[in-house]
Chains A and B, each alone.
Chain A
Amino acid sequence: MRHIPRTLWVGGTIVTAICILAVLGPWIAPFDPDAFAVRSRLEPPSATHWFGTDEFGRDVFSRVLAGAHHSLLMGFGATLISLVIGVPLGLIAAFRRGWTEETIMRGVDLMISIPPVLLGLLILAVSDPGLFKTILAVGLVYVPIMTRVSRAVALDLLAEDFVEAARARGEGGYHILVREILPNAWPPLIVETALRITFAILLGSALSFLGLGPQPPDSEWGLMIAESRPFISEAPWIGLAPGLCLCLLLIAVNVVGEGLRDLLDPRLRGRGHG
Chain B
Amino acid sequence: MTGFLVRRFASVVFVLWAMTVVVFAIVHVLPGSVAHMILGEYATNEAIADLELRLGLNDPLYLQYWRWFTGLLQGDFGNSLTMDRPAAPLILEALGRSAILASISIVLVAIIGIGLGIHSATHVGSWSDRALTLMQYFFIAVPEFFWCILVIIFFAVWLGWLPATGYSPIAEAGLLGWAKHLILPVSTLVLGLIAHVSRLVRSSMLEAIESRYVLAARAKGLPERLVLRRHALPNALLPAITVLAVDVGILMGGIVVVESVFAFPGLGRMLIYAIENQDIPLMMGGMIVITAVYAIANLVADILYAVLNPRIRVSGSAG
Contact = CB atoms under 8 A, between A and B. Distances in A.
B176 interface: no
Given A110-B18, A125-B283, A270-B204, A115 B250 contact: yes
Interface in B147-206: 149-150, 152-153, 157, 196, 199-200, 202-204, 206
A198 B14 contact: no
B287 to A, nearest CB: 7
B30 interface: yes
B253 A246 contact: no
Residue among A125, A246, A250, A253 with the highest chain B CB neighbour number at 10 A: A125
Of the listed residues B22, B146, B243, B271, the one surrounded by the most CB atoms of chain A closer than 10 A to its CB is B146
Residue among A210, A246, A274 having the largest count of chain B Cβ atoms under 10 Å: A274
Contacts of A228: 149
Interface in B198-229: 199-200, 202-204, 206-207
Nearest to A232: B153
B19 A114 contact: yes
Nearest to A203: B253
Given A126-B29, A198-B141, A269-B207, A113 B295 contact: yes
A244 to B, nearest CB: 9
Contacts of A251: 137-138, 141
Given A115-B290, A206-B144, A272 B243 contact: yes
Given A115-B250, A115-B253, A222 B145 contact: yes
Contacts of B137: 251, 254-255
Contact of A118 (B30, B153, B246, B252): B252
Nearest to B144: A206
Contacts of A255: 137
Contact of B30 (A112, A121, A126, A246): A126
Contacts of A253: 141
Interface string B259-289: 0000000000001100100100001000100
B101 interface: no
Given A255-B137, A270-B202, A247 B15 contact: no
A225 B149 contact: yes
Interface string B13-44: 01100110011001101100000000000000
Contacts of A106: 11, 14
B142 A247 contact: yes
B202 to A, nearest CB: 7
B275 A124 contact: yes
Contacts of B15: 109-110, 113
A250 B283 CA distance: 32
A107 B143 CA distance: 28
A113 B30 contact: no
Nearest to A124: B275
Contacts of A273: 246
B319 interface: yes
29 contacts: A106-B11, A109-B11, A110-B15, A116-B253, A117-B253, A118-B253, A118-B291, A121-B271, A121-B272, A121-B275, A126-B26, A206-B257, A209-B145, A209-B257, A210-B272, A226-B145, A232-B157, A239-B149, A240-B153, A246-B143, A247-B141, A250-B141, A250-B142, A251-B137, A254-B141, A270-B199, A270-B204, A270-B207, A272-B243
Interface of A: 106, 109-110, 112-118, 121-122, 124-126, 148, 152, 198, 202, 205-206, 209-210, 222, 225-226, 228-229, 232-233, 236, 239-240, 243, 246-247, 250-251, 253-255, 269-274
